[in-house]
């Protein structure tokens, strides 16, 4: 849904992209500020202001830099891990998901977080987590950034209708969010692959961590203690384990994506700011999920598939939870896999399948490609333990993960052109660095 007539796309001198690329990284870091008031914006209260200017959307070149900064592929990673210890025993390095480098680092290289964005032209998604690099170093030039941007999938025409009212956004975030001319970036994290990858790491040697379900009082992994694979000296509760994976994916990864966007907008001379985004289920599902939480009126969604939690489930009975975006961003759960055990095999095959990371069929970080053959496979017993655990969760909670949604989104980022009149009226001159103050004149004559 468009809130107003779509503003025209600006044009600018591409040489300015090269200047932005030379902007000092430390200067961008130490000069970083949230700058929230866009062209065409309105603010009430003590800082009341009505912009006299029409909105100016980001140019395709500006947006391409931001998309690449948020989620682009940068080549092949280094992976200087001790895959074996001094005695030749495995250390768990075989749990790495890929050798693909991205602009944000990721636990176990899962890259569980993908980026959606919406502007006056539509709602878009850039599928990148399973992309293989085409060069050892890539993603460094404006042409590559434009190519990355051009690989995006348009999910819908027009701007996503994000409800700017209770219970979706806090009141102080409603006036200048998702206005014409702005681009809103929405990181979404997949907890299913993250959890299965972490389970493989936890259970295999040399770690052997033991998980239990304190809520229901069950220990489905007891046979693997008796076999010697797992050590029950310091058990980890199911809810704690899943919360840690939520922090790794939706907290750490999404936070790093946002940090990249903040740095990139600073170097380009744009305004922008992070904020607590809309309700995740509403954003992914739209009006049905909006009305389920008491929302009134219309709401747009990203088109995710949802799974209904069984009525007997101890958590979230009868609720609908997002499990993936068909063909683009699918969770490692049914219905994308026939069984939850098949989802485990899928995640293992990402590492060890015919075209997996350690198969020897894809580019490795090292000059000697034969090094990959010395990295040990995960043990069959550890894989069996993972399958035992996920089957237990699926059968006793009717979902996976058990305590958190399979897909999450929390923090978002908006980029826009600033209305400098607002800052000149209320703030001292140093509130806007010169390259930000003069951005429109230099980039959008």
Query: In this predicted model, what pLDDT tens digit does every residue of 141-182 receive, in sequence order?
Result: 999 999 999 999 999 999 999 999 989 999 999 999 999 999
Nearest by Cα to 249 from 199, 301, 192, 316: 192
Contact 225, 232 (CB under 8 A): yes
Say if CB 329 and CB 322 are below 8 A apart.
no
CA distance 178 to 185: 10
For 98, 163, 279, 397, the CA distances from 291, given in Å and listed in that order, are 39, 11, 12, 25
Pick from 422, 398, 316: which is nearest to 36 by CA? 422
Residue holding tokens 């932005």?
Answer: 20
The pLDDT of residue 15 is 85
397-231-243 Cα angle (round to 5):
40
Torsion, Cα 160 162 163 169, to 10 degrees, reads: 180
Residue 445: the pLDDT is 78
d(Cα 118, Cα 409) in Å, to the nearest integer? 15
Residue in the block written with tokens 């979230």: 316
* Residue of 105, 391, 107, 71 whose CA lies nearest to 246: 107
Token output for 5: 């007539």
pLDDT in tens, 58-72: 999 999 999 999 999
The label of the residue with tokens 């010395």 reads: 374
Give the pair of three-digit tokens for residue 262: 């903040």
Q: What is the pLDDT of residue 8?
A: 55
Both tokens of residue 303?
């088109």
Pairwise CA distance, residues 99 & 369, whole Å: 13
390, 241 contact by CB (below 8 A): no
Residue with tokens 């939850």: 340
Written as six digits, the tokens of 53 are 């200017």
Q: CA gyration radius for the chain?
A: 23
Instruction: Please give the Cα distance from 191 to 201 (Å, whole number).
Output: 15
Give the three-state DSSP class for 331: coil
Q: How far is Cα 152 from Cα 164, in angstroms, rounded to an integer?
A: 26
Say which residues have a Cβ less than 8 Å from residue 258's Cβ, sequence separation at least 6. 185, 187, 274, 411, 412, 413
Per-residue confidence in pLDDT tens, the chain, 445 aa: 333 444 555 545 678 998 999 999 999 999 999 999 999 999 999 999 999 999 999 999 999 999 999 999 999 999 998 999 999 999 998 899 999 999 999 998 999 999 999 999 999 999 999 999 999 999 999 999 999 999 999 999 999 999 999 899 999 999 999 999 999 999 999 999 999 999 999 999 999 999 999 999 999 999 999 999 999 999 999 999 999 999 999 999 999 999 999 999 999 999 999 999 999 999 999 999 999 999 999 999 999 999 999 999 999 999 999 999 999 999 999 999 999 999 999 999 999 999 999 999 999 999 998 999 999 999 999 999 999 999 999 999 999 999 999 999 999 999 999 999 999 999 999 999 999 999 999 998 7
CA pair distance 294, 129, nearest whole angstrom: 34
Which pair of tokens denotes residue 220? 């489905």
Phi then psi dihedrals of residue 119, to 5 deg: -150, -170
User: In 10 A of CB 301, how many CB atoms?
Assistant: 23
C-alpha to C-alpha distance for 255 and 247, rounded to whole angstroms? 10
Nearest alpha carbon to residue 363 among 150, 135, 199: 135
Phi and psi at residue 271, to the nearest 5°? -90, 165
User: Residue 197 in 3-state DSSP?
Assistant: helix
Q: Cα–Cα distances in Å, from 351 out to 1, 97, 189, 337?
A: 41, 6, 20, 17
Element spanning 234, H or E: strand 231-237
pLDDT of the residue at 5:
47
Exposed, middle or buried: residue 367 (CB in 10 Å: 0-12, 13-18, 19+)?
exposed
Question: Please, are residues 94 and 197 in contact by the beta-carbon 8 Å criterion?
Answer: no
């Amino acid at each position: 849904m468009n809130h107003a007539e779509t503003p025209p796309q600006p044009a600018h001198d591409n040489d300015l992209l090269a200047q932005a690329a030379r902007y000092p990284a430390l200067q961008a870091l130490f000069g970083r500020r949230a700058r929230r008031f866009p062209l065409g914006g309105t603010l009430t209260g003590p800082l009341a202001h009505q912009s006299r200017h029409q909105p100016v959307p980001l140019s395709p070149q500006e947006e391409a830099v931001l998309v690449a900064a948020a989620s682009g592929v940068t080549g092949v990673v280094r992976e200087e891990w001790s895959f074996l210890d001094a005695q030749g025993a495995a250390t768990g390095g075989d749990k790495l998901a890929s050798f693909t480098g991205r602009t944000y680092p990721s636990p176990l290289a899962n890259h569980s977080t993908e980026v959606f964005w919406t502007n006056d032209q539509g709602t878009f998604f850039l599928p990148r987590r399973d992309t293989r690099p085409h060069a050892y170093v890539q993603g460094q030039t404006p042409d590559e950034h434009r190519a990355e941007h051009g690989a995006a999938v348009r999910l819908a025409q027009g701007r996503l209708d994000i409800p700017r009212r209770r219970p979706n956004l806090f009141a102080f975030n409603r006036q200048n969010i998702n206005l014409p001319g702005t681009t809103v970036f929405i990181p979404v994290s997949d907890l299913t692959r993250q959890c299965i990858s972490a389970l493989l790491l936890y259970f295999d040697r040399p770690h052997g961590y033991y998980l239990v379900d304190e809520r229901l009082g069950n220990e489905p992994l007891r046979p693997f203690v008796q076999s010697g694979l797992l050590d029950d000296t310091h058990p980890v509760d199911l809810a704690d384990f899943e919360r840690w994976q939520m922090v790794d994916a939706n907290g750490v990864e999404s936070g790093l994506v946002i940090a990249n966007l903040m740095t990139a907008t600073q170097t380009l001379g744009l305004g922008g700011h992070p904020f607590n985004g809309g309700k995740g289920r509403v954003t992914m599902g739209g009006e049905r999920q909006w009305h389920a939480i008491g929302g009134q009126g219309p709401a747009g969604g990203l088109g995710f598939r949802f799974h209904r939690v069984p009525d007997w489930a101890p958590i979230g009975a009868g609720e609908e939870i997002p499990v993936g975006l068909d063909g683009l961003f699918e969770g490692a759960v049914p219905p994308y896999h026939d069984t939850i055990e098949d989802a485990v095999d899928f995640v293992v095959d990402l590492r060890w399948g015919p075209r997996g990371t350690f198969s020897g069929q894809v580019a490795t970080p090292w000059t000697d490609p034969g090094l990959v053959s010395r990295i040990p496979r995960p043990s069959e017993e550890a894989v069996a333990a993972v399958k035992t655990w996920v089957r237990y969760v699926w059968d006793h909670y009717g979902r996976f993960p058990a305590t958190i949604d399979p897909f999450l989104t929390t923090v978002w980022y908006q980029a826009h052109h600033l209305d400098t009149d607002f800052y000149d009226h209320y703030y001292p001159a140093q509130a806007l660095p010169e390259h930000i103050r003069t951005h429109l004149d230099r980039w959008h004559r």
